[in-house]
Structure 1
Amino acid sequence: MRASRHLIRLQPLPQLPRSRHIHATTLCAWEKYDNERHFEPGEDVLKRVWHGLTYDVKRWKRRYQQARDDAFKRNNPIAFAKRDILDHELLPHRTEVLIIGGGLTGSSTAYWIKERFRDEDFKVTVVESPDKLEHSRTMLSNGAITQQFSIPEFIDMSLFSAEFLRHAGEHLKILDNDPPDINLLPVGFMYLARTPEEAETMRENWRTQIERGVKVAYYTKSELAARFPFMNFDDVIVGTYGLENEGLIDTWQLLSAIREKNISLGVQYFKGAVESFLFDRIVGAPEVHSRLGGGRDADLDALQKRRIRGVNVRPQMVGASARPVRTNMIVNAAGPWAGEIARMAGIGQGEGLLAVPIPIEPRKRVNFVIHAPDVPSFDIPAFTDPNGIFCRPQDAGSNFIVGKIPTRADDAKTDHTNLSIDYDDFYNNIWPVLVSRVPAFKTAKVINAWAMYNDVNTFDDTPIMGEHLLFTNLYTMAGFANYGPQMSIAMGRLFAERIFEGAYTTVNVRKFDMRRIMHGNKVAEPLKCAV
């Protein structure tokens, strides 16, 4: 009996028909973030130690699984789990370079850093606020490229950027993908002078441009009339016209190409807003000086000894709180909001070196798109009238982008908080000047318009480039409002030279840092060069 039961137990089970149903497996959540609790040093030591140990285990496990699932790294997942795996935290707790602003200036800086030093452990993080980016110059400018400046450094920077943009498809190509197209439209820029003083200034600037290798023609009134017979030069004495390395680009296409290239190089982009800065704590310094009778000076001395160690960033997610991100270098490339970022660090709100602000402010600018079928679109230059009215071909058709460079008096009267468009400004102030210069514009019609913010340096209208004298690891790169994307491309390269070689080697832009503002030395650009 015992044997029979044993035999029955050893009999194979009958084959049952397979049931058809859906097999569910765990998905690889590539966009899954870890919204973990962050503990500051000294805060709840036991919980902080326990959280650190458990969090490291979870991170190692995730990295191992990702390396194991990767076909190219499956042979040795343990080795690959330690590197080349992106962390999926909501924000990194540590990065080498933190760039505030994801526009052309910030993205170009990240590109040149990673192009120069492609170490995976050298993290470059870009924090951007999409709500502000959509109103910035990067997204909405007409993307002019010109070298007709009076400052030699600006000429050299524009020449470098023009050469880069000429071969942008090769520089920004990703593996076997097609080269990106930035829609480069070659067109010469024209500037006019109506008075003998303006003519003399233009001639001096032209000589400087020729010495730097710029291909630009210097025309008299009769030569202008012969070269451009459809334009009116009755009130003009002389003019200059670019013959090479000038044109228009699609800044949005350029930014997209740079961002995609940066991501392939390991640059991390995060959406969020910087709320404050992190400083080193100076323990005991005020008390020691107070006992010596320092009083109020003791607090100022402690402020002078602080060092920026990072920022607090609020991710753009519902219910997310601000998180600290520690870094060695911070680049303030926030464009129109660079002055606001600087004030978070106390710049311009203290005494001594902190009393001098970074005078970058958002200024409203309006562009109108007009359709003028009678204007010879292939022959007309991108001209700027002496009174500030400019005209740029939008494409190879009959559409043009026009606007006005406001004077300081006009700028003071403008409500820069309101981005609404006043179409009467075009019909009353811009259109009559266009018709007087090019009579064929009398049949033009407005088909589109937009308002944007330019990052304007209210001190002298030229960019601020360089580190702060007190916080030497905080770099400001803003104020490129009237100079276009060519300055952003070149400045990114110069910053990479500054941090890796300790000096600007291609173009020396040392005179454009905060020292000139502290000493009250303005660097003026006499030509109106809105781009």
Structure 2
Amino acid sequence: MADRIVIVGGAIMGSSLAWWLTELGHPASAITVVERDPSYAASGTAFTNSCIRQQFGNPLNVAISRFGVDFIKTFQSRMDDPRVAPIHFHPFGYLYLAGNAAEADRLTRAHAVQIAAGSATRLMTPGEMAAKWPFYDLDGIVLGSHGTEDEGYFDGTTMFDWWRRIAQGRGVTYLADEVTEIDTIGGRIRGVTLASGAVLGADIVVNVAGTRGAQVARMAGLDLPVEARKRYTWIFEAARPLEKDLPLTIDPSGVHVRTDGATYMAGATPDVDPAVDPEDFAGDWAMWEDKVWPALATRIPAFEEIRVKQSWVGHYDLNVFDRNAIVGHHSDLPGFFVLNGFSGHGLQQSPALGRGLAERIVHGRYVSLDLAPFGPDRIAAGVPFPEDAVI
């Protein structure tokens, strides 16, 4: 008899897992996805900037992104459904700017990792960047790192929607409800209780609850170092549009900006960055005038005259232990799996991490990429598996 699986959280990562489980042969009738908000209006998936990059400092994250790009490019054929259209992918690249020797050293070390993993990243002098993108003011910049291939924007909403729709079409149950208790009688997973009062028997519970991941873990008597952190986004138009596409530029100030069709998208982390309630989406919009706009106008003088059209606050499910994904089986509780703590990388990592955890559940081992270093046991052991390239 197939294991009964409850996936707690049905946004992009939970739906990726559900689709991959059925793709690898797990009976769809034995899979239930519990999602507290089936509109997904406040999910990380809804607020994402929907980009993918190769420029990580951890080689496993580079490999995950390389598979992600391949999956995006081949999405239509992988879905094997005539209704599915190709996913739009706009590879404008990322450009990291270093403002001092320490930042340049970090980019240089990360570049070596990326090249060894097969990525097409190049290091650029200020003169080389000025020749390619004359709209930058590069005063104070000592080095740049540019992803020349397979970095940019993709339509993550379409990917999520088809994963969910096809999983449901195959027979996966999606419940609009909330897990309130996890039954661990006998020292292993037995099932869950829902806010509606329903009780679901389960052999496996997968915590894919995003910013509520620590809350779900506590129901099972476990700790997870994941916190909701606010991240800000602005869409603006410029009185003097740039003459060519703007790479996703990561300024030493921490502000990042990219082309977004006929407009531009900027993002930033607040200087004071406490953990917040997952329901708290209030914004401190003075940050635009105090930090973001000045940084944009300094780096790209054409952005002195711009007009904000839209803005929002989203959340990272930040892994405060080492800012890397937490994926795998929790050895302290048989049947409890974690898929959480993506620290802003969830959308782009969803193809590989959904596949990897599905392999671990179906086959009992990782087959395509060894995700064991992401396992939750590293946290209890106090052995980080860090990622420094977090935007």
TM-score range (shorter-chain normalised) is over 0.9
Partner of 1:36: none
Structure 2: runs of 5 or more not aligned: none
Which of 265, 269, 288 does residue 170 from structure 2 map onto?
265
Partner of 2:64: 157
Following the alignment from structure 1 to structure 2, what is the Cα–Cα distance between the partners of residues 131 and 361? 22
How much does 1:108 deviate?
0.4
Distance of aligned partners of 1:234 and 1:415 in 2 relative to their CA distance in 1, 3 Å threshold: farther
- The code of the aligned residue for 1:344 comes to M
Partner of 2:268: 404
How much does 1:113 deviate?
0.8
Which of 331, 346, 349 does residue 487 from structure 1 map onto?
349
1:351-390 equivalences under 5 Å are 357-376=223-242, 378-390=244-256
SS in 2 for 1:524: coil
Give the number of the structure whose alpha-carbon radius of gyration is greater. Answer: 1
How much does 1:484 deviate?
4.0
Which whole-Å deviations, capped at 9, do the CAs of 1:69-103 have from their partners, x for residues lacking one?
xxxxxxxxxxxxxxxxxxxxxxxxx9721111001
Corresponding pairs, count: 390
Which whole-Å deviations, capped at 9, do the CAs of 1:336-358 have from their partners, x for residues lacking one?
101111111121xxxxxxxxx10
1:148-297 equivalences under 5 Å are 148-174=55-81, 176-177=82-83, 179-280=84-185
Distance of aligned partners of 1:246 and 1:364 in 2 relative to their CA distance in 1, 3 Å threshold: same
Q: Is 1:103 equivalent to 2:11 in the alignment?
A: yes
TM-score normalised by structure 2 residue count:
0.94
Query: Any conservation in 2 of the 1:308–1:471 contact (CA below 8 Å)?
Result: yes
How much does 1:335 deviate?
0.6
How much does 1:189 deviate?
0.6
Q: Is 1:134 equivalent to 2:41 in the alignment?
A: yes
Query: Any conservation in 2 of the 1:456–1:481 contact (CA below 8 Å)?
Result: yes
Structure with larger RCO (C-alpha < 8 A, sep 6+) = 2
Following the alignment from structure 2 to structure 1, what is the Cα–Cα distance between the partners of residues 159 and 188? 35
Structure 1: runs of 5 or more not aligned: 1-93, 281-304, 315-320, 348-356
Distance of aligned partners of 1:262 and 1:414 in 2 relative to their CA distance in 1, 3 Å threshold: closer
- The code of the aligned residue for 2:10 comes to G
Which whole-Å deviations, capped at 9, do the CAs of 1:289-333 have from their partners, x for residues lacking one?
xxxxxxxxxxxxxxxx5211110123xxxxxx4111011111100
Query: Any conservation in 1 of the 2:126–2:144 contact (CA below 8 Å)?
Result: yes
Which whole-Å deviations, capped at 9, do the CAs of 1:112-133 have from their partners, x for residues lacking one?
110110646x521111011783
SS in 2 for 1:130: coil
SS in 2 for 1:275: strand
Identity of aligned residues (%): 31
Which of 297, 321, 325 does residue 200 from structure 2 map onto?
325
SS in 1 for 2:177: strand
Distance of aligned partners of 1:416 and 1:118 in 2 relative to their CA distance in 1, 3 Å threshold: closer
- The code of the aligned residue for 1:450 comes to W
User: RMSD of aligned C-alpha atoms?
Assistant: 2.0
Partner of 2:305: 443
Q: Is 1:512 equivalent to 2:387 in the alignment?
A: no
TM-score normalised by structure 1 residue count:
0.70
- The code of the aligned residue for 1:183 comes to H
Following the alignment from structure 1 to structure 2, what is the Cα–Cα distance between the partners of residues 310 and 413? 30
How much does 1:172 deviate?
2.5
Which of 194, 204, 214 does residue 313 from structure 1 map onto?
194
Which whole-Å deviations, capped at 9, do the CAs of 1:124-157 have from their partners, x for residues lacking one?
1111011783212111111110010010110000
